[in-house]
Amino acid sequence: MAKPSITDARGITADLILEVGKYYSAQQLRTLQAKLSGTAREIHSLTGGNHLPGRIGAQLSIEQRQLLQDAAKLIDSVNANIKHAKEKRGRDENKAKRRQQSRDAEAKRLVAETYLEPMAPQPAALEPLLDILKTVLTLNRADVFKNGYSPREFNLRLRDYLSPARTRKLIGWTSPSAFWISTVLSLRNEVVQAVEQEIAYDDGSNVRDRLDALKQKVADCVARVHLSADEEETLRLWSEALSPRTQADGGE
């Protein structure tokens, strides 16, 4: 059996590159490929030609120039399989991207249809707004709406929106009520996005199963405590602030 050429990196296959570079993207492999191509060209330029690198290389011995040629060929051999690995990684990434896009679309549909319905035509109506707040508080307590606040901290933050110290500093709002309604609707959007992202996450299960698991998690939380004392007080304060009478008075 003939001895493999020293310039043939046959042990470095595309599959091996994908394994050792499993956390590297197709773009990162493309960058590496470009760098190695440039390196091979620079080395090869020392082995001949009438340009400066070639003139410098001409001062080397025949054996040294051959060594440089072999090095360039070896790099090219490695690079050929980096190219194949890059192309395969790119195909896998595109497939994963299409799968995630499909999951994102299904998550958006399921949340709108079966969990958090779109807002009523009259967003200033009291009950829908309180329902949103109740849902937001419950999902925070169930650790579904992960906004960086503990249940106690989140209740206090929501109450702070109602404080005179906050409303006195409002600029650009027609009334405190307008600010409060906008705050609730913004919270709803944040919760919708949080739930969509949670159930769209690709762990191998389908989106509906993840939604069912999320619903069960929330149901278990509510079964233990339907509404905490903190949540009841927060909802009471918001109910007073958003009452039709308060809104008629401009939220003052």
Confidence (pLDDT) at 3? 72
What span, in angstroms and rounded, lies between the C-alpha atoms of 68 and 46? Answer: 8
Per the listing, tokens 């309604």 go with 181
DSSP 50: S
The two three-digit tokens of residue 169, written as one number: 């500093």
Asked if 155 and 217 count as a contact pair (C-beta separation under 8 A), the reply is no
Q: Which amino acid is at 85?
A: A
**pLDDT band for position 213 (50/70/90)?**
very high
**pLDDT band for position 121 (50/70/90)?**
very low
**pLDDT band for position 169 (50/70/90)?**
confident
Cα angle 151, 152, 153; round to 5: 95
Average pLDDT, the chain: 91
Confidence (pLDDT) at 117? 64
Element (H, E) at 68: helix 62-110
Model confidence pTM above 0.95 = no
Asked if 48 and 54 count as a contact pair (C-beta separation under 8 A), the reply is yes
Asked if 78 and 9 count as a contact pair (C-beta separation under 8 A), the reply is yes
Confidence (pLDDT) at 114? 78
Asked if 121 and 54 count as a contact pair (C-beta separation under 8 A), the reply is no
**What percent of the chain shows pLDDT beyond 70?**
92
What span, in angstroms and rounded, lies between the C-alpha atoms of 13 and 113? Answer: 48
**pLDDT band for position 186 (50/70/90)?**
very high
**Mean pLDDT lowest among 57-66, 81-90, 106-115:** 106-115
Torsion sign (Cα): 69, 73, 76, 78 = negative
